[in-house]
Amino acid sequence: MWWQWRLQLLAERAETIEETLLEWGALSVTYQDAADDPILEPALGTHPLWKRSVLLVLFDHDADMEWLRAQAREFLQAEEWESLHCERLQDQQWERAWMDHYQAMCFGGEPPLWIVPSHLPAPEPQACNLRLDPGLAFGTGTHATTAMCLRWMAENRMPPTVLDYGCGSGVLGVAAALLGAAQVQAVDIDAQAVQATLDNARANNVTIEASLPGEASLHAAQLVLANILLEPLLLLREPLSRLTQAGGVLLMTGVLARQVPALVQAYAPDFTLEVAAEDDGWALVLGIRTA
C-alpha cells in the first residue's frame, strides 16, 4: 500500500518543490507532460522540463498524511494546492502489469519478422522471432522510428556486415543478425544500452560486438543503422559517412518529417538520399554511399 500525490506545476517551480517533497520523506518524484507538449530535440547535456508538468509523488503507506497535507497547504502556491490529489495505491505485480500490455508485433517480410515478449508463445513458430522485453534502454519496436527500421529490414535482404550506431536495447542489431547478417557491430554512449544489447543478443542466440565509443575499432559496414535524433545525426555526419562502405546503405531515423531537408543537406555530398517511409510525423531516410 502506498500514498500517491498528483499535482500540476510550472517548470520554474519544479526543482524547489521536488527538493522539499524529498525532504518530507517522498520515496519518488516523477514528472509527466501536462499539456501534450513534447520535447523532441533538447540540447546535448540538458534535461529540460515541459512548461507545465504533472508531478507524481509516492509516499510510504504509514506516512503522516495529516502532517504532510498541512505542510503542503502552507508551502504550495494556490494553483498547485488546488490541483493536489491524494490517493492510496494498492500493491501490484508490476511484472504482470507490463505483460498484460506488451504483446507480440509483426513487421512483415518473408518469413515475417516478429518481436515476441518472453512470456508469450511465438504466433508463428517458423517465423523470424526476436525475443525482447521492455528494459532500461530505448527500443522495443513500439515507437514509430524503431518500427519503420524493422519493417524496412524485414523487407530487404541483410548484407553480411551491419553496424547499429546508437543501439539502445540492441533491437535493430539483433534483428539484423536473426535476418542473416554475418557480422553485427553495435555502439552506444550509454553503458546500460551496451549491456542491454549484449543481453538481448544472448537471449536470441546471436553474436553482436557491442561497445561504448572508443572501446573497440569499428569497421565500415554495408548497412549502417542510426535511430537517433536530428542533432546527433548532424554531429555524427563524418563518422557515419566513413563507417558506411561505398555502395552501402545508411538508414537514418529519429528525424521528424519536417527536419528531413536539414539532414539531406548535411549528407548529400556523400550519399544519394530518399525518404523511405513516414509514420506518425517521423521519417526514415535511406542513403546510398556514393564515394
pLDDT score of 187 more than 80: yes
Judge whether residue 45 has pLDDT over 60. Answer: no
Mean per-residue pLDDT for 164-184?
Answer: 95
Residues contacting residue 212 through CB under 8 Å, at least 6 positions apart: 187, 188, 189, 191, 194
- Tell me the longest C-alpha to C-alpha distance in the chain: 70
Lowest mean pLDDT of 15-19, 100-104, 257-261, name the range: 100-104
- H or E element in which residue 155 lies: helix 144-155
User: Per the confidence metrics, is the pTM higher than 0.85?
Assistant: no
- Ranking 90-94, 170-174, 213-217, 229-233 by mean pLDDT, the lowest is 90-94
Question: Over the stretch 70-91, which tens digit does the pLDDT of each residue have?
Answer: 999 999 999 999 999 999 877 6
Residue 1 has pLDDT above 70, yes or no: yes
Cα–Cα separations (whole angstroms), residue 180 to 172, 173, 273: 12, 11, 25
Asked which of 119-133, 163-177, 275-289 is least confident by mean pLDDT, the reply is 119-133
d(CA 291, CA 288): 9
Q: Closest Cα partner for 72 from 3, 154, 144, 147?
A: 3
Pairing type for strands 271-279 and 244-256 reads: unpaired
Q: Which domains does the chain have, with CATH numbers?
A: 2-91 (3.30.70.120), 136-289 (3.40.50.150)
Cα torsion at 171, 176, 182, 185 (round to 10°)? -50
Q: Indicate the pLDDT class of residue 234, thresholds 50, 70 and 90.
A: very high
Among 133-137, 219-223, 271-275, the minimum mean pLDDT is found in 133-137
The closest of 246, 236, 235 to 271, measured between CA atoms, is 246
pLDDT at 47 over 50: no
Residue 270 CB burial class (10 angstroms; 0-12, 13-18, ≥19): buried
